[in-house]
Chains A and B, each alone.
Chain A
Amino acid sequence: MTTVAVKPATMAQALTRAMRDAMAADPAVHVMGEDVGTLGGVFRVTDGLAKEFGEDRCTDTPLAEAGILGTAVGMAMYGLRPVVEMQFDAFAYPAFEQLISHVSRMRNRTRGRLPLPITVRVPYGGGIGGVEHHSDSSEAYYMATPGLHVVTPATVADAYGLLRRAIASDDPVVFLEPKRLYWSKDAWNPEHPMDVEPIGRAVVRRAGRTATLITYGPSLPVCLEAAEAARAEGWELEVVDLRSLVPFDDETVCAAVRRTGRAVVVHEATGFGGPGGEIAARITERCFHHLEAPVLRVAGFDIPYPPPMLERHHLPGVDRILDAVARLQWEAEG
């Protein structure tokens, strides 16, 4: 039995380290965005990169999201691998046209001759008491656009591994960073930082037989907490962390649902038109005969993101998840 050198680290530290290692390994990697240089980003995720690699490789750009992503397109066309930071979820919207009209389709439009290896880092989601326009869960917008990968880590190890793989990918990746997990700590082994599944694979974070919770990003810790609390009811909940919304890992998700026959999709984005609808439909199409109850969704309310003093009522919590699991049991009985 080998002992592994693990020590606690925050997700923010792992992300910084991922960019640093990627920049050291490949001179084509350039980090750019508003405040990413001298300040190190408003969340300090790019801290120290400008100092170590110079301002040409970690660049404070003018304040203009379309311009940041649009110039990154040209840089990628000339052989660079831009890593773009959008300061907050809702600040990325001016860059949507570049993302949707050009970034996502340049490879396809040119029959593979102009791949765009761009990573767009977006701190997203609520739970940190941010004021309006600082807490959106925008993943469904990105998921609806073919040509983009959409990735969101929930653990420190994934934060490092997925970001390294996103930067190394020849395709554009929207890398959603759950900002309320920036300061969460995990035991992490920086000696073997790439010991994680590649992009496109979901993982089972906790085994169980009563029902399967399917989740990602900021809702993973909530689901794990719910699974722990469920033991008091005599329920063993399985928890699947998607890690990647596009591509979607049908195989892992369906295997998990077949084991338990019951599924709840949990995320803080709105339920209507949200990722949960797509996931529930995929499960129903593939595992209908294994299901003992309808697939349920526990999502944020279908409202604009609420003011910070009310956000705890909006975000799916342990009780709401356990209520859904209880409804699944009722379906079984009744």
Chain B
Amino acid sequence: MTVLEQRGAYRPSPPPAWQPRMDPAPLLPDAEPYRVLGTEAAGKADPDLLRRLYTQLVRGRRYNAQATALTKQGRLAVYPSTTGQEACEIAAALALEERDWLFPSYRDTLAVVARGVDPVEVLSLLRGDWHNGYDPHAHRVAPLSTPLATQLPHAVGLAHAARLKGDDVVALAMVGDGGTSEGDFHEAMNFAAVWQAPVVFLVQNNGFAISVPLAKQTAAPSLAHKAVGYGMPGRLVDGNDAAAVHEVLSDAVRHARAGGGPTLVEAVTYRIDAHTNADDATRYRGDAEVEAWRAHDPVQLLERELTTRGLLDGSGIETARQDAETMAADLRERMNRDPELQPMDLFDHVYAESTAQLREQRALLRAELEAEQEQHGGHGEHGAREGGAR
């Protein structure tokens, strides 16, 4: 008996019997990533969906190559490639309905393009003419988020708000393996589970956070295992298997839409290219590893499945390539034009109603631009164009 108990000051009431809220077993992911291509399950997949995925994958691969080329030409400041990850990007985006929302990270340009956003507008952030080039409401896509995992709570809030309004809208939030170490990842998962918000979290585990491998990122058996601690199901899927990603994401979206709450999906994939053109990947990984993953290429996996089953032939492959070339030519042509810069935009969207201080600064810039224009004979890319003046 403790001293406090002897004095009678400490009289704890017996604790109520503690009950776990649910059996964790069904929340735990399978030990192996779920696969469809090359298995019996592939037979049940919709051929039209597979062909649609294939066309988009080929286009995504070409987009990555074109955008990377544009960095070499100085047209893009930087481009984080998703070569090798096209299946996650595209299959995830195609699992959403039109009314759903996508919350991408800076690497998720292909998912944004797959939602229907103009490929040139998507690159605005990376080209540097504006921080966000598209209207988020037009295709229900949030701006590409550069800080890691900070967009995840936004997805939870939006999904929660939609549910409060009675709309059956689902939010898909994408994050990389490194982002799962951030506090916002944890807070978003926890809020989503507590609120039973209709959110799907997709972790694209591509092996590295710039140069840091997964083993130095987490001690968890898998990133999908993190779900069980929040009370939501975790699912592990082969991220290079477009059919598997589409099926798992579609299940999670359906589950969320029906009121079942959030799901955490970990797609295991690999970043074939370096982090960006500013990164030297040879410093932290060997060629053998990269080659092993090339043998598990998402485009080839799907192509093999489709050709083996007679759903795609040489001319179908050629059609897909032509489609991708047309997209790339258009992207190249439009990206090679100088962007129309609108210097007055610097002041026009800071507040709904400008402040006296910003009006003064705006007048200063306008005078500078006018002087510049006079000096250069009245035109030039930095001309005093008025953008949304108020």
A74 with B161, Cβ < 8 A, contacts A107-B349, A112-B388 known = yes
Bound complex: CA of A82 vs CA of B156, how far in Å?
Answer: 14
Evaluate contact between B165 and A78: CB separation under 8 angstroms: yes
Interface flags for A283-302 (1: CB within 8 Å of B; 0: not) read 00000000000000000000
A70, A76, A113 — most chain B CB neighbours (10 Å): A70
A126-154 interface with B by 8 A CB criterion: 146-147, 149
B4 is an interface residue with CB less than 8 A from chain A: no
A6 to chain B, nearest CB (A): 32
- Chain A residue, CB-CB nearest to B169: A78
Binds B, one of A179-187, A225-233, A245-253, A321-329: A245-253
Cα A159 to Cα B352 in complex, Å, equals 22
By the criterion CB–CB under 8 Å, are B351 and A147 in contact? Answer: yes
Residues of chain A lying within 8 A (CB to CB) of residue B194: 62
Task: Say yes or no: A67-B349 contact (C-beta < 8 A), given A113-B135, A113-B136.
Answer: no
Instruction: Using A67-B184, A67-B191, A247-B357 as known contacts, say yes or no to A74 and B135 having CB atoms under 8 A apart.
Output: no
Residues of A within 8 A of B171 (CB): 74
CB of B150 closer than 8 Å to a CB of A: yes
Q: Cβ of B42 < 8 Å from any Cβ of A?
A: no
Q: Which of B123-144 contact A (CB under 8 A)?
A: 130-132, 135-137, 142-143
CB 8 Å contact bits of B232-250 with A (1 = contact, 0 = none) = 0000000000000000000
Checking A70, A170, A246 against B153 with a beta-carbon cut-off of 8 angstroms, the contacting residue is: A70
Within 8 A of A (CB), among B29-61: none
Residues 81-97 (chain A) with a chain B CB within 8 angstroms: 82, 94, 97
Contacts of A69 in B (CB 8 A): 153
**Pair A66/B153 contact, Cβ less than 8 Å:** yes
Q: Give every chain A residue within 8 A of B348 (Cβ-Cβ).
A: 111-112
Are B158 and A78 within 8 A (Cβ)? yes
**Cα distance A98–B188 in the bound complex, in angstroms:** 12
User: Which residues, 104 to 134 on B, are CB-close (under 8 Å) to A?
Assistant: 130-132
Given contacts A79-B161, A113-B135, contact A70 B188 (CB under 8 A): yes
Contacts of B153 in A (CB 8 A): 66-67, 69-71, 73-74, 98
- The one of B160, B161, B351, B357 that contacts A248, using a Cβ cutoff of 8 Å: B357
Establish whether residues B155 and A74, one from each chain, have CB atoms under 8 Å apart when the complex forms. Answer: yes
Do B135 and A72 touch (CB < 8 A)? no
Complex Cα distance, B388 from A104, in Å, reads: 20
- B323 contacts chain A at the CB level, 8 A cutoff: no
Closest to B173 in A: A74
CA distance A101 to B153 in the complex (A): 13
Cβ of B168 < 8 Å from any Cβ of A? no
In the bound complex, do residue B150 and residue A97 qualify as a contact, i.e. CB atoms below 8 Å apart?
A: yes
Q: How large is the interface on B (under 10, 10 to 19, 20 to 34, 35 or more residues)?
A: 35 or more
In the bound complex, do residue B352 and residue A75 qualify as a contact, i.e. CB atoms below 8 Å apart?
no
A70 cross-chain contacts in B, Cβ below 8 A: 150, 152-154, 156-157, 184, 187-188
In the bound assembly, the distance between CA atoms of A110 and B348 in angstroms comes to 11
Residues of A within 8 A of B147 (CB): 97, 101-102
Selected from B145, B150, B160, the residue in CB contact (under 8 A) with A75 is: B160
Return the CB mask of B296-318 against A: 1 if under 8 Å, else 0: 00000000000000000000000
Interface string of A52-77 (1 = CB under 8 A from B): 00001000011010110111111111
The answer to the question of A109 belonging to the interface, with a C-beta cut-off of 8 Å to chain B, is yes
Q: Is A80 engaged at the interface, CB distance under 8 Å to the other chain?
A: yes
Interface flag for A171 (CB, 8 Å):
yes
Distance in angstroms from B56 CB to nearest chain A CB is 26
Q: Is the CB of B137 within 8 A of A113?
A: yes
Say yes or no for A190: interface residue by CB 8 A criterion.
no
In the complex, whether B325 has a CB less than 8 A from a CB of chain A is no
B378 at the A/B interface (Cβ < 8 Å)?
no
Residue from B130, B348, B355 having most chain A Cβ neighbours under 10 A: B355
- Given A66-B183, A97-B147, the answer on whether A73 and B357 have CB atoms closer than 8 Å is no
What B residues does A251 contact at CB under 8 A?
356
Q: Are B131 and A75 in contact, CB atoms less than 8 angstroms apart? A: no
A62-B194, A66-B153, A70-B150 in contact; A200/B183 too (CB < 8 A)?
A: no
* A-chain residues with CB within 8 Å of residue B160 when the two chains form the complex: 71, 74-75
Question: A65 → chain B, closest Cβ, in Å?
Answer: 9
Q: Do A111 and B345 have beta carbons less than 8 Å apart?
A: yes
Q: Would you call B190 an interface residue if the criterion is a C-beta within 8 Å of the partner chain's C-beta atoms?
A: yes
Contact indicator A114/B187 (Cβ below 8 Å): no
CA distance A108 to B164 in the complex (A): 28
- Name the contact of B161 in the complex, choosing from A75, A106, A111 (C-beta under 8 A): A75
Is A115 an interface residue, CB under 8 A from the partner?
A: yes
A149 vs B354: C-alpha distance when bound (angstroms): 11
Chain A to chain B contacts (Cβ below 8 Å), 6 pairs = A67-B156, A74-B157, A82-B157, A109-B132, A112-B348, A248-B356
- Taking A102-B151, A250-B356 as known contacts, 13 extra A-B pairs with beta carbons closer than 8 A to each other, sorted by chain A number, are A62-B194, A67-B187, A69-B153, A70-B184, A73-B157, A74-B154, A75-B157, A78-B162, A97-B150, A105-B131, A108-B131, A109-B143, A169-B352
Q: Which residues of A contact B (CB under 8 A)?
A: 56, 61-62, 64, 66-67, 69-80, 82, 94, 97-98, 101-102, 105-115, 146-147, 149, 169-171, 200, 246-248, 250-251
Residues of B within 8 A of A (CB): 130-132, 135-137, 142-143, 145, 147, 150-162, 164-165, 171, 183-184, 187-188, 190-191, 194, 345, 348-352, 355-357, 388
4 cross-chain pairs, A with B, having the tightest CB-CB distances, nearest first: A74-B157, A70-B153, A67-B187, A71-B157
